[in-house]
Amino acid sequence: MSSSPDQRRAAAETVLARMRSAGIVFDDDPMVKGLIEEWINGWLDMPDVLDRYQQLLKDRYAGRRAVAASCASRPLGERGQMSTGDLLKQVEKLIGGT
């Protein structure tokens, strides 16, 4: 059964309201919001949204592990600081080198 963008937006807003009332925090990453918008507009099916969200979570985890490994390899006195160059390299890895 097909639904209109207005129906999908209403459904998304209902789910988000229920999550908030239950104390569940929704991932407010702009990329996640964009995935929901693509579903609302009918450009993605929900299984595609889920697949892309899971990939985003994997990418985040990999990025955090890389940052942690980079910090752990530094001498103790330098662990609290990351150079701008290192930070930019990590960001580039997270966004896929674009």
Predicted confidence (pLDDT) per residue in 41-64, tens digit: 999 999 999 999 999 888 888 877
Structure confidence at residue 26 (pLDDT): 86
Q: Is the pLDDT of residue 91 over 80?
A: no
Task: Name the packing angle between helices 46-72 and 84-94 (round to 10°).
Answer: 150
- What is d(CA 83, CA 40) in angstroms, rounded to the nearest whole number? 40
Predicted confidence (pLDDT) per residue in 2-36, tens digit: 789 999 999 999 999 999 999 988 888 899 999 99
Burial of 51-66, coded b for 16+ CB within 10 Å and e otherwise, reads: ebbeebeeeeeeeeee
Predicted confidence (pLDDT) per residue in 62-85, tens digit: 877 777 777 666 665 555 566 666
- What is d(CA 13, CA 8) in angstroms, rounded to the nearest whole number? 9
